[in-house]
Amino acid sequence: MSSTDAHHGGYEISTDPGRLDIAAMHAYLARSYWSPGIPYDLVERAARNSLCFGLYEKAGAGQVGLARVVTDHATFAYLCDVYVLEEHRGRGLGKFLMRTVMSHPALTGARRAMLGTHDAHGLYRQFGFKDATGTRILMEIVRPDLYRMRASA
């Protein structure tokens, strides 16, 4: 698959790591509800070690969205850091991003794909995700204030 995976109107998605705008990603993620205050170097390291789908406006506005997948490219995928900048929402870009991600071989062959969300259940259900509540199989450690604790130490 080429690094430029899909086009939608004036937008395109690319998995080319060289196109990622780490500063733009950090600016959004540091203010998101799921990673407030995340340090720049962690965003950079996470991107470098993940399969990233950058969403770009062709008109030159640069990177306007992202979906990051932590995966072994065979059996498991964890979808995270999915966003579209506020000024680009309402154009079907979230669905475009999800269609592209879900058609990538890293997810089509995965036995388990997971994600976490507080507010986009409806979007992810359209792509086959279901609530995992009540399971006795999945376990987790969640530290929502980890970045804030590191910054104050």
Residue 153 has what pLDDT? 67
C-alpha atoms less than 13 angstroms from C-alpha of 61 in its C-beta half-sphere:
14
Report the amino acid identity of residue 104: H
Q: Is the pTM of this model over 0.95?
A: no
Enter the tokens of residue 99: 């269609």
Q: What is the pLDDT of residues 30-72, one digit of tens each?
A: 999 999 999 999 999 999 999 999 999 987 779 999 999 999 9
Q: Where are the domains of the chain?
A: 4-152
User: In the CATH hierarchy, which fold is given to the domain comprising 4-152?
Assistant: Aminopeptidase (3.40.630)
Enter the tokens of residue 102: 């879900």
Residue 47: closest CA among 88, 12, 7, 16: 16
